[in-house]
Structure 1
């Protein structure tokens, strides 16, 4: 526990998320998502089921009335109240199993909720990417509209030809379509987020991703995930449950006890006394212990297999971080040092390039910036998947 606490403190000190619109969005989804609400009620029902069978069996009340034959033989009346009990140690084992199943139910609810919240966060990160792209597209649109207007004025003065004006208009049309397609993508993403938010509208205009101060090395990060991820804890809890089921089954193989009250009346005479009995465990639970042990072996192998798969999956996301972080740094350095828009405008104004060359060079710069935006979005999505266990 000290190690887990230390690792968690390290996580807090090395990875700091800023409060953004995403935090507010995820809080809304956690409250309003219908699937999460339904899952919560389902787990409450399961917990109630886990508590059944923890008490003794219902008592049995029997009454017999037997008419005598021949006449004068008298009638017989029998009355009995009996109670069957498992061996005393069974009840404690069952209660312990119920507690462990309840813990697993809570973990499964956390896993389900985190899946929904991760889906919402990935959509929100996609929306931030689209918002950033929208800002760049609208900037290009304004510049191209000014370009078309300028060439139209030149055409009116006889300083330009209609072909150049048409080329500028075609460039404007292409950018207008890019803007419309991006606006449509934003609308679709908001619709998906609205669905995740239980049908309630969401507004997210952020163009800045959640800030991450530092990502620890993979070995440290993997230890944090293993210590705090409820999905891994579900598999570990399943092992404990299967082990406890073996204990319960072994104790169910012990004899059952039956006790009660019995009275009998015949020919004016009555007999009253206690009733006692014990079952002989021969066939009823045969092979059930073997089945429980086989289930434990399955849970053990399943836990090991899942842990390996989960670790390798996280390693892939972690490797994506390093590759994209280096590429982003190179793009950021180069793009920040360029002033292509001003240079292109100046070169076109002085006739050093044609309108076609202008459009091609402007598009080349935009494609490079678009690749940077895509890498940035993929980086933060990989980061969100790695830190999924922190979503609440």
Structure 2
């Protein structure tokens, strides 16, 4: 009874440990987002740009000027004067510029989101490559074990003088090749882990038992495009550019209005003091010339540019979508055929039963191994295409 309890506790602890070490792709991407040094630096840049834009809407510094004129021929007291004034643009300009700054902040946020998605897409592509490498390594380890068994069997047959040295050497070469493939895959896996840790700010990641969603059939292209229109930062940036350009037209129109100045003035002469309110008004004759037309032209350019960019993005989406659909159909057909056959294991059993010679076995198994490798490569391409098509969901 006690042994059963101890075993049960041990199993629970083992499962708990494995589960605690397993993280979903979403969790790993979230960790990379928090630790990525490029994103942290870019966030500082965005914050600085926002503060700089807000600073452009501040009032000018107040001005203080004074006069003291003790020299010259006069019989009265010395002449003194001082003045303090505050100049400012017409009040509606500040409101228009504040709205423009808000739209500029949306542009910057769209840029940051685009940078964030680029980093996360690179990370997800790295995770996909790592997953495929790990999966391929598992397959190659099984092949290495089988090739070792074949070589050992051929060695026994050679010792019994039932096969020649050429067959023995072929079996040995096949085994050596599988050993090299496994070692090469291990190096590639380690290199890929290093890339992912670099994206994670140099910090380690728990990448054991990595699992990805299997490739799935996508929704219609119209639905996918609607999602991108609402979430894709490239498209949101185009909308923000248009809105910002339109608001800049309104801002330039407001800046045609005269600048104002208010202040206090004091004069002292002949023992008499004079003080009162100072007022000033600029006449907008030259400074605003052609600026509204320039802003209007920029707005029209942004509209045309956005339209062209949207058409190109939709065409790119169509190409990737069609490629994915074609590859998905072929992959599904491949998967249903190869996985149901379990050909490599069946061939190995048939070889052990003496139904195939070594040469026949090697030729047959090579065909199915190539087919399995092809299916694995198709899965990788599907995963990468799927990640690209759904980048707006990152």
For normalisation by structure 2, the TM-score amounts to: 0.89
Counterpart residue number, 1:216: 219
Q: Is the 8 A contact 1:131 1:206 kept in 2?
A: no
The reply to whether residue 340 of structure 1 matches residue 343 of structure 2 is: yes
Pick the aligned partner of 1:368 from 371, 378, 383.
371
Structure 2 distance, partners of 1:341, 1:274, is 98
What's the CA shift for 1:336? Answer: 2.3
Answering whether residue 105 of structure 2 is matched by residue 96 of structure 1, we say no
Q: Is contact 2:121-2:387 (8 Å) kept? A: yes
Q: What does residue range 138-149 of structure 1 map to in structure 2 within 5 Å?
A: 138-149=141-152
Distance 2:124 2:383 in 1: 10
What displacement does 1:76 show? 1.9
Partner residue of 1:276?
279
Partner secondary structure for residue 159 of structure 1: coil
Deviation at 1:55, TM superposition (A): 3.5
Whether 2:230 is the aligned partner of 1:227: answer: yes
- Would you say 1:33 and 2:40 are equivalent positions? no
| 8 Å contact from structure 1 (residues 61, 81) kept in 2 | yes
Matched residues in 1 for 2:39 and 2:210: separation? 28
Counterpart selection for 1:83 from 59, 82, 86: 86
SS in 2 for 1:199: coil
Q: Distance in 1 between matches of 2:171 and 2:193?
A: 33
Partner of 1:301: 304
Aligned to 1:205, the other structure's residue is in SS state: coil
Residue 339 of structure 1: how far off its partner (Å): 4.0
* Distance (Å, rounded) in 2 between the aligned partners of 1:217 and 1:171: 47
- 1:48 aligned residue (51, 59, 68): 51
Partner of 1:236: 239
Cα offsets for 1:325-355 (capped at 9, x unmatched): 1111221122123243345335545766543
8 Å CA contact 1:85–1:258 kept in 2: the answer is: yes
Describe how 1:15-30 pairs up with structure 2 within 5 A.
21-30=24-33
Task: Name the structure 2 match of 1:65.
Answer: 68
Return 5+ residue gaps in structure 2 as ranges: 1-21
Moved more, 319-328 or 138-147: 319-328
Number of residue pairs the alignment of both structures matches? 373
Matches within 5 A, 1:187-266: 187-206=190-209, 208-211=211-214, 214-266=217-269
Alignment pair present for 1:159 and 2:162: yes
Map 1:346-385 → 2, pairs under 5 A: 348=351, 353-385=356-388
Does the residue aligned with 2:228 lie in a helix, a strand or coil? Answer: helix
- Segments of structure 1 that go 5 or more residues without pairing to the other structure are 1-18
Deviation at 1:285, TM superposition (A): 2.4
Residue 311 of structure 1 deviates from its aligned partner by: 1.1
CA distance in 2, matches of 1:389, 1:156: 63
Spell out, residue by residue over 1:123-148, the C-alpha distance to the aligned partner (whole angstroms, 9 max, x if none).
11111111111111111000001111
